[in-house]
Amino acid sequence: MFKKILIANRGEIACRVIKTARKMGIKTVAVYSDADREAMHVRMADEAVRIGPPPSAQSYLLIDAIVDACRKTGAEAVHPGYGFLSERTAFAGALEKAGIIFIGPKPHAITAMGDKIASKRLAAAAGVNTIPGYTDIIRDSAHAVEVARDIGYPVMLKASAGGGGKGMRVARNDAECRDGFERASSEAQASFGDSRVFAEKYIEEPRHIEIQVLADAHGNTLYLNERECSIQRRHQKVIEEAPSPFLDAKTRKAMGEQAVSLAKAVQYESAGTVEFVVDQQRNFYFLEMNTRLQVEHPVTELVTGLDLVELMIRVAAGEKLPMTQKDVQLKGWAMEARVYAEDPFRNFLPSIGRLVRCQPPAEGAHVRVDTGVEEGSEVSMFYDPMIAKLITSGDTRDEAITHMVNALDEYVIRGVAHNISFLNALIQLPRFKEGRMSTNLIAEEYPDGFHAADVPRENPALFAVMAAVVNRKFLDRAALVSGQLPSHERIVGDDYVVIVNKESHKVVVKPSGKGWLVTHEGRKYSVATSWKFGEPLLYADIDGRSACFQVERLASRYRISHRGAQVDAQVLTPRGAELSRHMLVKAPPNLSKFLLSPMPGLLVRLAVKAGQEVKAGEEICVVEAMKMENRLCALDDVTIAKVLVTQGQSLVVDQPIVEFK
């Protein structure tokens, strides 16, 4: 077994690998860019080596720098994690040449599966079901239309070297095909340095289900059952689970055996994932093979009881797999939600900044948190804005969902925007709870984007009730101030008006035993809580039912969060509420004559100039953010008064791009 390994990655996956290596008694080496010099993975590792400035291309993607770090520290092997260099043949080859073990498949397998066109041909030859399509390179947009017509709309245009949802477009007609080819080709070139695009039939109402495979160098290959990854936004996975609520035993076995056939065809060693698209009749078709550890691997670990990172390390060290196919068990249910620093109410705009407060839910029998950040960490503009992977488990799917909803309630994040409201809303969708899902679910449920009104509120009155209770506790404490004149002590009343979203709620709060008796619009609630001032989480017993709320005091208001919903409540006396109706409200500035950048990014194309008339639907500019191109088009016929930026300029969120007349 190795004595020391280097982790060629950062963030949560680097921390995840370090934990297993530590458990195995293996020393670890972290690498870091200047932006990550104080990062959690750097402090967790036994040694750390600086490899360059913040941009990935100048640090985490530098093969020579990582090989050199291995030589300096004496690391015998490298775990690549996911992303960065994990699926680069050149990296695996460079390590092999330097006599360093790559904890992953051999270079030939990475090459075979790294090209989507070549991998489809190999899969078909290995007897794996493939989607009808055109696997040669599409020359231009006119050729794309010709190919699409032969296949039959709708078609999916995909970058040959693609991954992570980049370089993919669905086309349902000739116009969408031409534009989709240009966008997919451009994104592919920007993301992978390879503009090649191919086409395949787009499966309606598809599910994305993947099979985890594991193979050693002694001819043993097996599958660890499936993961359901259909909940996606713009081809990026949001929630994953194992097993799939859709598969039956027969389909699971057939998919697993085909995945094993493909792995054997490329002499695969290590952990890998074969992804399939599955239609509503349970017909399944090969999508691609990821020759690395998947982001969502924890759900497989929880339902099989296996440590995939440990098995990868043991296979790389030449050991045989310690189990056979019949030993693979499937116990209970597991679910993973990706917690990101992004604002779901602003079209999922990435959020950067410092985590001024970060308190994950307590880990235990049913909750696991894989993270690479902590309170005080900075979410950088240079890398993926993932905060954590929140994983829950239970004996049944309903139990895993219940634990997930409760854990999301308990996840405290301040300083950056986050997607917990969105995750909570998804988990509570009837379609999700019933297992009726496809990769189109998010687009169908939120066709106009995600808004505050989309967050379900099981009982809106609870927010007013809890705001009134918290306010009463503050007032009761204030009434204890020393030095009050006899017979003029402060008296705290019982009657309040709670203003939530401009709506007034009449609430009466009276002490009752060890808690409070709260009357809201005639309905009585018994509330007991041991909450102390300054704690972000308020656990309460409400009419015998436990609930968790997040509480913040903001000047004269209280911010209450529960089940993904968040309200700002103002608690006043009846007289104060009467007077508040006369307070002036400052009107926000009128920005309707400006096109604002919806995200931080690079202005890669500016299609207009001052004085130009632009028709509704015509392109004004293209902003690239996180390697995705975003076209900004005119909503109405307009005339450009001023152009306020230049092509190639880096933009911040809400920066004015053009002014209209």
Find tokens 């030939």 and name the residue.
Answer: 108
Tell me how many degrees the CA angle 381-385-391 measures, rounded to the nearest 5: 165
Phi, psi dihedrals of residue 79, rounded to the nearest 5°: -100, 125
Tens digit of pLDDT for each residue in 621-652?
A: 998 876 678 889 998 999 999 999 999 998 88
d(CA 96, CA 77): 10
Distance from chain centroid for Cα 496: 41
Task: Please check whether residues 337 and 401 belong to one and the same domain.
Answer: yes
CATH number at residue 465: 3.30.700.30
Task: Please check whether residues 451 and 395 belong to one and the same domain.
Answer: yes
Question: Which of 132-136, 152-156, 395-399 bottoms out in mean pLDDT, i.e. has the lowest?
Answer: 132-136
203 to 32, 170, 640: CA distances (angstroms): 41, 10, 41
From 536, 551, 580, the end of a domain falls on: 580
Task: Please check whether residues 308 and 232 belong to one and the same domain.
Answer: yes
pLDDT for residue 584 = 82
CATH number at residue 154: 3.30.1490.20
Task: Please check whether residues 187 and 228 belong to one and the same domain.
Answer: no
Is 619 among the catalytic positions?
A: no
- First-to-last C-alpha distance (Å) of the chain: 70
d(CA 216, CA 172): 43
Residue among 226, 288, 301, 342 flagged as catalytic:
288
Q: Which helix (H) or strand (E) holds 40?
A: helix 40-44
548 forms bridges with which residues in the sheet? 539
Quick check: helix, strand or coil at residue 82?
coil
Task: Please check whether residues 113 and 88 belong to one and the same domain.
Answer: no
d(CA 72, CA 612): 59
**pLDDT at 204 exceeding the cut of 90:** no
From 142, 166, 201, the end of a domain falls on: 201
Structure tokens at 394: 């239970």
Determine, yes or no, domain membership for 122: yes
Tens digit of pLDDT for each residue in 348-368?
A: 888 888 999 999 999 999 999
Determine, yes or no, domain membership for 585: no
Per the structure, the complete domain to which residue 599 belongs is given by 594-660
- Of 345 and 161, more confident: 345
CATH number at residue 50: 3.40.50.20
578 to 477, 499, 509: CA distances (angstroms): 25, 11, 19
- Of 580 and 409, more confident: 409
**pLDDT at 244 exceeding the cut of 90:** yes
d(CA 530, CA 514): 9
Determine, yes or no, domain membership for 406: yes
From 201, 230, 248, the end of a domain falls on: 201
Tens digit of pLDDT for each residue in 454-503?
A: 998 778 899 999 999 999 999 999 999 999 999 888 889 999 999 998 88
Tens digit of pLDDT for each residue in 90-119?
A: 999 999 999 999 999 999 999 999 888 889
115-126 b/e (C-beta count within 10 Å ≥ 16 → b): bbbebbebbeeb
CATH number at residue 380: 3.30.470.20
pLDDT for residue 191 = 78
Report the 3 state secondary structure along 366-402. CEEEEECCCCCCEECCCCCCEEEEEEEEECCHHHHHH
Task: Please check whether residues 537 and 613 belong to one and the same domain.
Answer: no
CATH number at residue 628: 2.40.50.100
Name the DSSP class of 494.
S
- Asked if residue 252 lies in contact with residue 205, where contact means CB atoms within 8 angstroms, the answer is no
Task: Please check whether residues 58 and 90 belong to one and the same domain.
Answer: yes
Determine, yes or no, domain membership for 586: no
d(CA 168, CA 164): 9
Find tokens 């905060």 and name the residue.
Answer: 387
Task: Please check whether residues 524 and 610 belong to one and the same domain.
Answer: no
Tens digit of pLDDT for each residue in 295-345?
A: 999 999 999 999 999 999 999 999 999 999 999 999 999 999 999 999 999
User: Which band of pLDDT confidence, cut at 50, 70 and 90, is reported for residue 231?
Assistant: very high
d(CA 231, CA 161): 23
Query: DSSP strand E in 90-182: where?
Result: 101-102, 133-134, 155-163, 166-171
Q: What is the mean pLDDT of residues 138-163?
A: 91
Determine, yes or no, domain membership for 588: no
User: Which among 226, 212, 329, 210 is positioned nearest to 270, based on CA atoms?
Assistant: 212
Name the DSSP class of 32.
E
User: Which among 594, 606, 612 is positioned nearest to 655, based on CA atoms?
Assistant: 594
d(CA 323, CA 305): 12
pLDDT for residue 417 = 93
- Asked if residue 113 lies in contact with residue 286, where contact means CB atoms within 8 angstroms, the answer is no
Report the 3 state secondary structure along 233-274. ECCEEEEEEECCCCCCHHHHHHHHHHHHHHHHHCCCCEEEEE
Tens digit of pLDDT for each residue in 55-96?
A: 899 999 999 999 999 999 999 999 999 999 999 999 999 999
User: Which band of pLDDT confidence, cut at 50, 70 and 90, is reported for residue 28?
Assistant: very high
**pLDDT at 270 exceeding the cut of 90:** yes
Determine, yes or no, domain membership for 24: yes
Q: Which helix (H) or strand (E) holds 36?
A: none
d(CA 140, CA 177): 11
583 to 274, 277, 303: CA distances (angstroms): 61, 57, 57
pLDDT for residue 588 = 81
Structure tokens at 397: 């799917």
By residue count, the chain amounts to 661
Total domains in the chain come to: 6
For helices 420-427 and 397-409, give the axis angle rounded to 10 degrees. 150
Task: Please check whether residues 142 and 223 belong to one and the same domain.
Answer: no
Longest dimension (CA), the chain: 93
Tens digit of pLDDT for each residue in 560-598?
A: 999 999 999 999 999 999 998 888 878 888 888 999 998
User: Which among 614, 616, 623 is positioned nearest to 641, based on CA atoms?
Assistant: 614
**pLDDT at 603 exceeding the cut of 90:** yes
Tens digit of pLDDT for each residue in 364-391?
A: 999 999 999 999 999 987 888 999 999 9
Task: Please check whether residues 228 and 114 belong to one and the same domain.
Answer: yes
Determine, yes or no, domain membership for 93: yes
User: Which band of pLDDT confidence, cut at 50, 70 and 90, is reported for residue 164?
Assistant: low
Tens digit of pLDDT for each residue in 479-491?
A: 999 999 998 888 8
d(CA 518, CA 473): 13
Task: Please check whether residues 119 and 221 belong to one and the same domain.
Answer: yes
**pLDDT at 528 exceeding the cut of 90:** yes
Report the 3 state secondary structure along 599-651. CCEEEEEECCCCCCEECCCCEEEEEEECCEEEEEECCCCEEEEEECCCCCCEE
**Mean pLDDT, rounded, of the chain:** 93
Determine, yes or no, domain membership for 312: yes
Name the DSSP class of 363.
P
Q: What is the mean pLDDT of residues 235-263?
A: 97
Task: Please check whether residues 433 and 545 belong to one and the same domain.
Answer: no
pLDDT for residue 351 = 85
